[in-house]
Structure 1
Amino acid sequence: QKELQQKIVQRERELNMRPVLPAFAGHIPSGLKRLYPHLLTTNVSQWCDFSDQYQCTFLNPMDSLYSIIQKDYLKEQTKMYGTNHIYGIDCFNEVQPPSWNTDSLALISSHIYKSLKSADKDAIWLQMGWLFYNDASHWTTDRIKSYLHGVPQNKLLLLDYFCENTEIWQRTESFFGQPFIWCYLGNFGGNTMICSPLQKIDQLLTNTLKKAKQNFQGIGATLEGLDVNQFAYEFVFDKAWNVPFTCKAWINNLADRRLGKYDTIARQAWQLMYHHVLTASSFSPQGTLIESFPTLQNSKYELQNTYMNSSQQQSLIKTWQMLLAIKKYNRYTYKFDVINIGRQVLGNYFHQLRDSFTIAYQTNDSAKLKIVGHKMKSILADVDALVACDRTFSLKQWIDDARAIGINANEKDYYEKNARTLITVWGDKDILTDYARRGWAGLISNYYAPRWNMFIDEVIKCNSQSIQFNEKDFSIRCHKWGRKFIEPSTIISYPTEQNGIILAKKLFIKYFKH
């Protein structure tokens, strides 16, 4: 790993990039207090309902040991990787500082920077701005100002983390003069949901380029996964250049690149997507209802993250139809778009069917309940078959890559279990189940579909026996089933890869050619 990292930073520097390396952020094992009983420490606040065993101890930067550890840490790191003098430190990302007092926040940030400077006189501290968005009720303007002003001007670089949703620079007087980078997040957890508000991004970036103060340093991306909207990142970074373009021309050029040549229908399809589908921002987590936990009715939170309205769905169906009408094009990106858009269209239709299923249950329409339940199961199988036509959507590749890391059977099983856990239950608490949801071949048929099939069968059974479906009890049992899936001993079967264009045309006719 050390050798790989050395090669990465070497290549980055050859490309005139400036690698950001980590620095000591103050998180220590609690056992260190046995050696230094008088340390200034606090317990890090609980995160996402995880148990106390996962909490760590925070060493207050005002304690002299903080600077000693920082200096030793950076000395050893510089020996191995060199330095470009930019260091990432995020002490309070989704956890709370020891005190919300403004003077205390200023002292903490001041001592953090001093610890960096003691090891590297040219040090610049890179700080994510996610905490100011994620915990906005605590990170008030005056607290942010105190925290940022604890560091000399131009020695702290902020990532305005989720700008397509909330621009922190706008509510902090441009981060009170500290340099910042405007960032497009775009994806949480590697989720597979077609979404990217390109028109909004264009407006926000145009405004930032015109109105942000001189401390605006550039444009970045803070994605958690490259997902299925790669073109959105192309759009963002094209805005960084001083070459003006119209969105219409940019979308036309995108259509040409995806197809490999100019085509009127392809351009019209992408313009339709741009104007009527790509309007929503990403949220956490996000995907079609297929990848969501089975329920009769989604919460407001879940509905926001899984739903495209009927107008968006009709535009997406039309986009899919137009792309399928193009003849004799074998470019990979065209095939990917056909499969990806088809996956989203069918996932949206699955949501509509689930809503019909719920109404049938609530109105005691047994015949309709069975018919709709059968259609839901059919779509689950069809989407799994469709995404199997492109290895981008492959659970097998994910599992194989994880197992390849291990050098013996035990290690291979260890890495496979972690790989399965990450994209399903995520941790040992149900609160983050499906955070990294993905519409992948094999994951649908072996994880999402069995959950939905259990749900459909149980609701129909309850209806036939005139008893109420106990959603809470089902949820508990379904979560327990999910825990079994993460074990490598649970066999996974994978669908056979087919010709994606041919299958997509068959599925379009099956579901939408009336």
Structure 2
Amino acid sequence: MKKMISYRILMLISLLLAGISAHTEPYVGVKDIAARRFPWLAKALVLELIPAVDGNEVFELSTSKGKVRIAASSASAAAEGLNWYVKYYCHRSMSHFGDQLTALSKLPELKNKARITSPYRYRYALNYCTISYSMSFYTWKDWERELDWMALNGVNLMLAPVGMEGVWQGSLRRLGFNEKEIADFIAGPAFGAWWLMGNLEGWGGPVSQGLIDQQVLLQQNILKRMKQLGIEPVMHGFYGMVPSTLKNKHSVKVIDQGLWAGGFKRPDFLLPEDPYFAKAADIYYSEMKKLYGEDLHFFGGDPFHEGGTSKGADLGASAKHIQQMMQQNFPDATWVLQGWQQNPADALLAGLDKDKTLVIELFGENTNNWEKRHGYENTPFVWSNVSNFGEKNGIYGKLQRFSDEVYRAKNGTYGSFLKGIGIIPEGIYNNPVTYDLMLELGWHQDHVALKDWIGGYTKYRYGKENSKVYKAWALLLETAYSSPKVNQEGPSESIFCARPGMDISTVSTWGTRKKNYDVAKFEDAVRMFALAGKEFEGVETYQTDLIDFVRQVQANKADVVYAAMMEAIKKKDIGSFKSSSNKFRQMILQQDSLLSTNKYFSVNRWLKQANAFGGSPADKVNALWNAKAQIIFWGPDDHPKTELHDYAHKEWSGVLGTIYLSRWDQFIDWQLALMRSENRPEPDYFKMETEWAKRPDLHPVKPMKKKELDALIQRMIQ
């Protein structure tokens, strides 16, 4: 008996000590980030808990006796505080386009305590498309880094639809589908985004059981880490999307959603008024709980996304029932909707509990739907921007507009409904300045002027002040990063990446080749930036940006050469066409050589990820095909004129020097034949594209000596 009492006393003491330890050192997940990313800082870090300010998250920074103290009201605020110290005092940073994290011999001291409060409840991240264009083949190591970056940038609400294959598999099995029918519904690894958004079914599959299990385990790790870092996941909810074959198995009321862009058959919409809807929703959410637990509070999913038909549905009643089923299975669940094009419709919003609804305004860099639609009919919303479509290359970002519109929305008529800011890129491996600025706006009470902010950015991006770099960035803000009042879907596109033709205005269906800035002034900016090269040798962030800026200069110059080619064709001037077309193809080869020197601009990085994805040889073959098909023709493969060809084109080495160059070579030979009055059909570009996607080549990078690279850059920016 005495032994039992002693044991209980010891257990009580250990629990009390554990509680004291947890209280004195909160935010262990944030401390772990420091150990992974800033080991030179981690041992000096002291984390403390302080209360929020009127419900708003806050952090404080101070230093004393070699210690760096971060006091914060949440894990998210603590991570943002850590990043704030690293950026603005240590002048270090991490990004999707390189890190500048060299160790400091002495940690900087603060003269006065800094205190920052966020005016927003939410700082949101990710688009469904980001998951497929950037993260299709992520491993846990990739996700661990991604979540560290998200936390450091203050994100506390993030779309997290990884591993939904397992939820759907379990649900469809219980609804009477066999394994073949399930496989025909689930999309491949590079096309999951559009499957979940109800745009297609099965494309890019089938996926193996091993791959489904792998993704479930990955999502479980992601959710566990997100909880440690104070990031709420937005899971994928049941909004009525069902396989188009369900109506063949059961007597149900569905609305055929027709075809999506490029000719894809959409899944059907199951009317919520049908009793089968409640059954399917309950099964879906029970499978969600089985795999991912019950501690989930946000669910995405948009009926009638991008052209789906709602004819025959009572939108208000349907929305109400969809939301009720979420909340019946997950009490107090919030439905997160995409504010894109005409979605969500006013009639749909009218049926919702607005206190449990959040609209993500996607296209803020071009539209002000939050204002035109009266704060989405008085619904809480998040202001965000897409900025990049298909993860296309291109220097672009309406930076000042980000700041102006957020401030205007916050202080305008519908300011009480503005609950946060966010980043919604279709692809995130580009333009790191856009993501840094947008997420930092979540911690600014006042209007931010870019000319004041950019100095701090360049200092922490490259590690130190430099007058040439600062002057270059001042010009970049006046050119590629300016905010013209034009509607533009992402960066201006490179003619190198276009399927060849006459007088091409867009590379992808909804893009533009027009440069809405002074290209000569942009070249001046790049030359000025390059002059600082000797001072930043070995600095990854500087070298990556330099390659990107020079790439843009070359792409801009190609417009002039392409115009000369078109003029020569119209005049039937063979000599001029040979000269201009030879120069054009040499420029492609130059661009390929330049980009092969940096992993962020090489298709090899993307293809290696795909080649390592999944456990079986069949998984790897299919993943590699997914990766290539997404870049070049997207799909479907029986539709040569698909609207989606080149939508996700990449101005990367390994693509430029192969399929893009091959297409242009075929075009040039064809045009020369026509000038000689030879009867020859236009090349079959679609056949070339599908064959390229089937090849197993990984297109490895080509090392180049520094002197050779420096000489190449100088030639390209002369």
- Note whether the superposition's TM-score is higher than 0.5: yes
Identity among equivalent positions (%) equals 24
Equivalent position of 1:278 in the other structure: 481
Q: In 2, distance between residues paired with 1:118 and 1:293?
A: 50
Residue 64 (1) aligns with residue 269 (2)? no
User: Does structure 2 conserve the Cα–Cα contact (< 8 Å) formed by 1:99 and 1:105?
Assistant: no
Partner SS for 2:682: helix
The CA deviation at 1:444 is 0.7
Alignment partner of 2:493 out of 265, 268, 287: 287
Residue 33 (1) aligns with residue 247 (2)? yes
Letter in 1 for 2:254: T
Please list the CA deviations of residues 379-422 of structure 1 after superposition, one character each: whole Å capped at 9, or x if unmatched.
00000000111101121121121111143433322111111101
Equivalent position of 2:419 in the other structure: 217
Matching of residues 9-48 of structure 1 within 5 Å = 9-37=223-251, 39-48=252-261
User: Does structure 1 conserve the Cα–Cα contact (< 8 Å) formed by 2:244 and 2:266?
Assistant: no
The CA deviation at 1:285 is 8.1
User: Does structure 1 conserve the Cα–Cα contact (< 8 Å) formed by 2:550 and 2:716?
Assistant: no
Taking structure 1 as the reference length, the TM-score comes to 0.90
Equivalent position of 2:595 in the other structure: 387
User: Does structure 1 conserve the Cα–Cα contact (< 8 Å) formed by 2:611 and 2:621?
Assistant: yes
Please list the CA deviations of residues 422-452 of structure 1 after superposition, one character each: whole Å capped at 9, or x if unmatched.
1111112332111111111101111111111
User: Does structure 2 conserve the Cα–Cα contact (< 8 Å) formed by 1:219 and 1:237?
Assistant: yes
Q: In 1, distance between residues paired with 2:357 and 2:336?
A: 6
Alignment partner of 1:76 out of 283, 287, 306: 287
Equivalent position of 1:298 in the other structure: 504
Please list the CA deviations of residues 73-122 of structure 1 after superposition, one character each: whole Å capped at 9, or x if unmatched.
21231232223321112121113233277xx2111111111222222331
Q: In 1, distance between residues paired with 2:450 and 2:615?
A: 50
Letter in 2 for 1:306: R
Residue 237 (1) aligns with residue 447 (2)? no
Equivalent position of 2:298 in the other structure: 86
The CA deviation at 1:301 is 8.1
Please list the CA deviations of residues 443-479 of structure 1 after superposition, one character each: whole Å capped at 9, or x if unmatched.
111111111122122223322x1469x8xx526x112
Partner SS for 2:405: helix
User: Does structure 2 conserve the Cα–Cα contact (< 8 Å) formed by 1:44 and 1:57?
Assistant: yes
Residue 184 (1) aligns with residue 391 (2)? no
Taking structure 2 as the reference length, the TM-score comes to 0.65
The CA deviation at 1:506 is 2.3
User: Does structure 2 conserve the Cα–Cα contact (< 8 Å) formed by 1:321 and 1:508?
Assistant: no
1:285 and 1:97, CA in 2 relative to 1: closer, same or farther beyond 3 A? farther
User: Does structure 1 conserve the Cα–Cα contact (< 8 Å) formed by 2:479 and 2:519?
Assistant: no
Q: In 1, distance between residues paired with 2:272 and 2:337?
A: 16
Q: In 1, distance between residues paired with 2:599 and 2:593?
A: 12
Residue 457 (1) aligns with residue 666 (2)? no
Q: In 2, distance between residues paired with 1:425 and 1:49?
A: 10
Residue 268 (1) aligns with residue 463 (2)? no
Q: In 2, distance between residues paired with 1:318 and 1:74?
A: 56
User: Does structure 1 conserve the Cα–Cα contact (< 8 Å) formed by 2:241 and 2:268?
Assistant: yes
- Larger mean Cα displacement after TM superposition, 192-201 or 262-271: 192-201
Q: In 2, distance between residues paired with 1:324 and 1:76?
A: 55
Partner SS for 1:19: strand
Equivalent position of 1:208 in the other structure: 409
- Larger mean Cα displacement after TM superposition, 234-243 or 12-21: 234-243
Q: In 1, distance between residues paired with 2:396 and 2:366?
A: 13
1:230 and 1:512, CA in 2 relative to 1: closer, same or farther beyond 3 A? closer
Q: In 2, distance between residues paired with 1:377 and 1:167?
A: 42
Equivalent position of 1:498 in the other structure: 704
The CA deviation at 1:508 is 4.6
Alignment partner of 1:98 out of 284, 307, 310: 310
Q: In 2, distance between residues paired with 1:77 and 1:492?
A: 36
- Larger mean Cα displacement after TM superposition, 185-194 or 123-132: 123-132
Letter in 2 for 1:12: M
Equivalent position of 1:481 in the other structure: 688
Task: List runs of 5+ in structure 2 lacking aligned partners.
Answer: 1-214
Equivalent position of 1:117 in the other structure: 327
User: Does structure 1 conserve the Cα–Cα contact (< 8 Å) formed by 2:387 and 2:490?
Assistant: no
User: Does structure 2 conserve the Cα–Cα contact (< 8 Å) formed by 1:296 and 1:355?
Assistant: no
Alignment partner of 1:348 out of 546, 549, 556: 556
Residue 7 (1) aligns with residue 221 (2)? yes
Q: In 1, distance between residues paired with 2:360 and 2:543?
A: 35
1:179 and 1:74, CA in 2 relative to 1: closer, same or farther beyond 3 A? same
Letter in 2 for 1:486: A
Larger-gyration structure (1/2): 2
Q: In 1, distance between residues paired with 2:527 and 2:574?
A: 34
Please list the CA deviations of residues 174-193 of structure 1 after superposition, one character each: whole Å capped at 9, or x if unmatched.
11111111111111111111
Q: In 2, distance between residues paired with 1:503 and 1:314?
A: 25
Task: List runs of 5+ in structure 1 lacking aligned partners.
Answer: 134-138
1:24 and 1:243, CA in 2 relative to 1: closer, same or farther beyond 3 A? closer
Q: In 2, distance between residues paired with 1:113 and 1:208?
A: 27
Equivalent position of 2:122 in the other structure: none
Equivalent position of 2:613 in the other structure: 405
Q: In 1, distance between residues paired with 2:701 and 2:346?
A: 55
Please list the CA deviations of residues 241-288 of structure 1 after superposition, one character each: whole Å capped at 9, or x if unmatched.
135443112112222223321111100000100012213665168531
Alignment partner of 2:263 out of 25, 50, 57: 50
Please list the CA deviations of residues 471-504 of structure 1 after superposition, one character each: whole Å capped at 9, or x if unmatched.
xx526x1122111111135x4654512246x455
Structure richer in helix, relative to its length: 1
User: Does structure 2 conserve the Cα–Cα contact (< 8 Å) formed by 1:252 and 1:267?
Assistant: yes
Letter in 1 for 2:651: G
1:162 and 1:296, CA in 2 relative to 1: closer, same or farther beyond 3 A? same
User: Does structure 2 conserve the Cα–Cα contact (< 8 Å) formed by 1:446 and 1:492?
Assistant: no
User: Does structure 2 conserve the Cα–Cα contact (< 8 Å) formed by 1:385 and 1:495?
Assistant: no
- Give the number of aligned pairs: 491
Equivalent position of 1:128 in the other structure: 338
